[in-house]
Structure 1
Amino acid sequence: MTLPGLDLDRFGPWLRAAVPGVGTDLDATFIAGGKSNLTYTVTDGASSWIVRRPPLGHVLATAHDMAREYRVMAALAPTAVPVPTMYGLCADTEVLGAPFYVMERVDGTPYRAAAELAELGPERTQRISSALVETLADLHAVDPAAVGLADFGRPTGFLERQVRRWKQQLDASHTRDLPLATELHARLAADVPAESAAGIVHGDYRLDNVLVDGGDRLAAVIDWEMATLGDPLTDLALMIVYSRLADLPNGQVAVADATQAPGFLTEGEIIARYTARSERDMSRFGFYLGLAAYKLAAILEGIHYRYLRGQTVGAGFDVIGSAIEPLLETGLTALKEHP
C-alpha cells in the first residue's frame, strides 16, 4: 500500500535498516496532526511507528524542518519532559522525496473538546490539566545547553522580534482597519520587558498537543514544529489565551474548548501552579498575555483574509473575523490585569 507522500516500497528498506526486526509486510495510515506536516502510522502487524514528513510540493527550506523536530525531541529524552522515542532521521530526499523521521507510536489521547473531558469527570480533568501545567514548567526548567540545544535558536531579543514579526504578519493580511490591533501593538512595542532566562519554547503548547494515557498522565508532548529557544513564558501565555478564545461569544472559532470542561484548572489556578513549580519572574506576565493575544489575532486575521478570497475549504471560517476584535480586547485587558 502506498499513500501520497509515503511510498512503502521505498520506505520499507530504510525502516528495516534503521529499526532491526521490522517485518516485510508494512501497512500505513494517514493521521491528522500538526499545523501542516504530514503524519502517518506504519505497522508491520506486530509493532507500529509514526512517520513525519513535510507537506507535498514545494515548501520553504526552513518552513517544515524535520531535523529540528527530531533534534528537540531526541534531546529531551533524558529529561522529565515526556517525548516519544526517536528511531531515525532521513535527510536523503531520494527515499520519500523529502526529509522525514520515524518515532515511537505512543498510546494516548489528545483531548480537544470539553465533551471528551466531561465524560472523565471533574477530578480526572483536574489531574490532567494539572499535569499539563506541571509538564510545561518542567520543559521550561531544562537548560538548553545541558541537552545539546545551545544553538537551537536566538534567544537574545526574542520578545522584540515576536512583536515585530506578528505586526508584519497582520499587515500582510490587511483587509480592514483594526484600531485595537494598532493600540495593542503600540503598547507592546513601547514596553518590552527584560526577558526571563532563555529556555526551550514549544511554540504551540496546549492540551491537544499532548497525549494523555489511561492513568491521566502525560505520555508524550508532540507537535514541536514551532520549537525554538526564547522566552518560555510565551508558551504559558499562549496556552491561557487559547482558553480565553474559547470563552469568547464566538467560541466556535476556538482551536479547542477542552479548557471549558468542569474540573479544568482556571486561569488563576494555572498561573499559580506554574509559579509554584517555576522560578521564572511573573511580574510582567500581562505583557506576555497581550503578546499572545496579538499573535493569535494575527493568525486568525490571516485565516479571515484567505476566507474573503475564497482560499479556505470547510465550515466555520465565516465567523473567524468576528473574533479578532474581542481577542484584541483581551490582550489590552491583560496589560491592565497584570501590570
Structure 2
Amino acid sequence: MSGTTGDLGDGAETGELLSTEELAAVAGVMSDAGTTPAAPLTARLIAGGKSNLTFRLTDGASSWVMRTPPRAGRTPSAHDVVREYRVVDALGPTAVPVAPAVASYAEEDLIGGAFAICDFVEGRTVQTADQLADLSDAQVTSAIDALTRTLAALHAVDHVAVGLERFGRPDGYAARQLKRWTGQWEIVGEHFSGDVRSAADRLAARLGEGLPTQHATGIVHGDYRLDNTLIRTGAGPEVTVAAVVDWELSTIGDPVADVAMMCTYRDPSFDLIIGSPCAWTSPRLPDAETLAASYESAGGVPLRDFDAHLALAHYKLAVIAAGIDHRYRAGATHGAGFDTAGDAVGPLLEAGLRRL
C-alpha cells in the first residue's frame, strides 16, 4: 500500500491501463474522502502481472499509490485490496510505519474492480541479492534491527482498540493453518515422489499431535520479510523502515507464527520458489535463531513452542511451493520461479521434520 523509487513493473497489458474517464472517477472517490487532486490524474503501472496491480497516481504536484485486482483471471476470495486497506488505515495512528491511507472503493463499477489508495512513500526495496549488495554490513545490521523492532511494534498493537476486532478469528490459529494447508496438499501434492509424500504425511501427522499452544493474539502480517518493506538509507549506517507493505495475508492470529514464517523464509530453498537469489536468503543476514532473538530483544512476544511454529511454517511454505509447481505443470504459469518451485518442496518438508 505504498510506493518506492525502486519499483519495476512486470509490464502492462492493454486491459491493465486506466482510461481518462476511469481516472476521473478515481479522483472523485479521493475527493469524497477529503483528498482532492489539484489537476487531472495520470497513472503509471509500477507493479503487476502476478498479484494485485499497483499504480502510481499523480496530479503533477502530489503522488499516491493505488492497488486494484487484475481485471481478468482473479478468484473471488483473492486480491482483496479493500481488506488490505482496512488494516493499513487502522495502523495509521500507531507506531507501525505504513503509508497514510487516503480512500478505498469496494465496488467494481468505476474501473472494473475495487481499489484502495494511499500516499506515495519514498523508499527503496531490497528484494534481490544484487540489491542487498548495495548495502554495507553496518547497514544490513541496522536494517535487520529496524525490521525486528517494527514487527515487535506490530504485535504490540491492540487490534480491538484500533478497530480490527472482526478482522479475523483470534484463537485456534495453528489448527486453522494446519487444516488449510493439509487440504491444499491433497490437491497439489499427488505427483511428487513417494519419499516427498511420506515426508509431508509424517510432518502433518506430527504437527497434528503437538500443535503449538496460542499464548498471544495480535495482528499478523503473514508475509513479513525485508522485501515487503520500504527502507530509507542515508550517508551513515542507520537504516529505517519507511513503510511495511503487502498486507494481503494479514489477519488476527498468533504473533509467534508471524515470526516463525519470517524465519522460515530464510531457508535457502526459498530461492527456488522465487527463481533467483533473493536478498532474504543471503548469508549476510542473521540465521533464524538470531532473528528470533533480535525480535524478542526488541520487545516482541515470548516465542513459546517456537520449534513447532517453525515446523508448521516450513510445511506451509512447502505446500505453497507445491501449489506453484502444480500450476506450472498445468501450463497455467510461466517465468522465473515456476519451473524450480517443486524442487523446494522436499527440502522444506525435511527441514520441518528436523525442527520437531
TM-score (ref. length: structure 1): 0.91
Find the residue that maps to 1:95 and give its secondary structure.
Answer: coil
Distance 1:57 1:320, change over 3 A: closer
Give the aligned CA root-mean-square deviation in angstroms: 2.1
Query: Contact conserved, 1:37 with 1:54, CA < 8 A, in 2?
Result: yes
Tell me the distance in 1 between the aligned counterparts of 2:182 and 2:53: 29
Q: Which consecutive residues of structure 1, in runs of 5 or more, have no partner in the other structure?
A: none
Q: Does the CA contact (< 8 Å) of 2:27 and 2:36 recur in 1?
A: no
CA distance in 2, matches of 1:280, 1:308: 41
Number of equivalent positions: 331
Q: Does residue 82 in structure 1 map to residue 97 in structure 2? A: yes
Structure number with higher helix proportion: 1
Structure 2 distance, partners of 1:268, 1:314, is 33
Aligned residue number for residue 307 of structure 1? 328
Between the aligned partners of 2:99 and 2:214, the Cα distance in structure 1 is 30
Structure 1 residue 181, shift from structure 2 partner: 0.6
Structure 2 residue 268 is the aligned partner of structure 1 residue 253: no
- Amino acid paired to 1:153: G
**Which sections of structure 2, spanning at least 5 residues, go unmatched?**
1-13
| C-alpha distance 21-154 of structure 1, shift in aligned 2 (>3 A) | closer
1:73 maps to a residue whose letter is V
Give matches, 1:78-227, under 5 Å: 78-173=93-188, 174-176=190-192, 177=194, 178-215=197-234, 216-227=239-250
Aligned pair in 2 of structure 1 residues 116, 188: CA closer, same or farther (>3 Å)? same
1:31 is matched with which residue?
46
Aligned-partner Cα distance in 1 for 2:35–2:293? 46
Amino acid at match of 1:186: A
Is the 2:157–2:219 Cα contact (8 Å) retained in structure 1? yes
**Counterpart in 2 of 1:232?**
255
Q: Please state whether the residue corresponding to 1:318 is helix, strand or coil.
A: coil
Tell me the distance in 1 between the aligned counterparts of 2:340 and 2:26.
45
1:324-339 matched pairs, under 5 angstroms: 324-335=345-356
- The counterpart of 2:317, out of the listed 296, 304, 324, is 296
- Encode CA deviations 1:164-200: one digit per residue, 9 max, x unaligned: 1000111111213411111110011111122021100
AA at the equivalent of 2:321: L
**Paired residue for 1:242?**
265
CA-CA distance at 1:99 after TM superposition:
1.4
Moved more, 89-98 or 120-129: 89-98
**TM-aligned CA distance change 1:279 to 1:323, over 3 Å:** closer
Match of 1:4 among 6, 13, 16: 16
Question: What is the distance in 2 between the residues matched to 1:25 and 1:217?
Answer: 34
Provide closer, same or farther for how the CA distance between residues 252 and 299 of structure 1 changes in structure 2, counting only shifts above 3 A: closer
Normalised by the size of structure 2, how large is the TM-score? Answer: 0.87
Q: Percent identity?
A: 42
